Amino acid sequence: MSRGHIAALAAIIIALSGCSGAAGAPQPAASSAAALPDPAAALAASVTALDQLDYEFKLASPYDGDISGVVHAPTGSLELEQRARFRDGGMSDVRYRGVGDEKWLRIDFSQFPDVPGDLPGGLTGRMWLPAAGISNGTEFGALRLIGPEKRLTGVESLVGAVVTVTRKGTASFEGTVDVTAAGPGTLGFGLAQDHVTALGDRARSLPFRATTDHQGRLRQFGFEYPAAGDRPAGGVSFSFDQYDAARPAGAPAGGELGSAADLAAALAAFRALQQR
């Protein structure tokens, strides 16, 4: 595993720990376009349901990989998973789970072509490790162990940075967004600052599309960006579902729960990978 892989994987763990309703309901028919709320106001209101902290989400971008999560404030639980694929075909899978004051990480670095075959179970996704033992100055860096909280994904800031918007139906919108005016959420998901800088003035007017559900809650928000510098053209998307019906995460138990010895072995192995 290269030093570039190690740095990227450590960054994934730091980001995933927070450092830095049901689909399918029919859309009601509108009697006329004039009866629909102003599109800018409707889009701004669509993110307020996220403040209830009871939903599921998926985020995707070419260089952040795919992040999925379940936010469930009624039980104080949060579960996140980030799957990232690297140019050489390697892939990482890092999961974070919190229930109340207890937090765990499940880390799989085994899906790389150049890792040793004797990785401990704590680095092959076979067990949950106590995150408290990783959070303070270990090889994984300083982690802030989060629970359900507002502005987790950062989509609220993106919606607030919309420049123009038109309605393309009762529940569809499109327009432009100024990503230079949008701050990251807790997960730090979105375009890196050097990417925004490379886009120049184009970053102030990127095309977006969004949809809402039958109650006006945000279902999808995605924007596209052109090639800039060494970055090819691509897009970033946010999807939300299961409002007020998210599945709460439970505490790991039995054989899936790692011990202090398992944690120590995982830290030692990660240290060895860093030194290769």
User: Rounded to 5 degrees, what angle do the CA atoms 28, 223, 183 make?
Assistant: 105
Predicted model pTM: 0.81
Percent of the chain with pLDDT over 90: 50
Task: Please report, for the chain, the start and end positions of each structural domain, with discontinuous segments joined by +.
Answer: 3-20+66-148+247-275
Tell me the per-residue pLDDT of 60-100, one tens digit each, with 9 for 90 and over.
Answer: 988 778 899 999 999 999 999 988 776 666 677 889 999 99
Residue range 152-161: mean pLDDT, rounded: 96
| 50: number of Cβ within 10 Å | 21
Position 263 confidence tier, pLDDT thresholds 50, 70, 90: confident
Beta-strand pair 172-177/162-167: antiparallel
Can you tell me which residue has the tokens 């730091």? 14
The structure tokens listed for 113 are 């072509």
Region at 54 (left for phi over 0; alpha for psi -120 to 50; beta for the rest): beta
- The mean pLDDT value of the chain amounts to 83
| 113: number of Cβ within 10 Å | 9
pLDDT of 161 > 70? The answer is yes
With a CB cutoff of 8 Å and minimum separation 6, the contacts of 152 are: 50, 69, 71, 146, 185, 186, 187
Distance separating alpha carbons of residues 136 and 63, to the nearest angstrom: 27
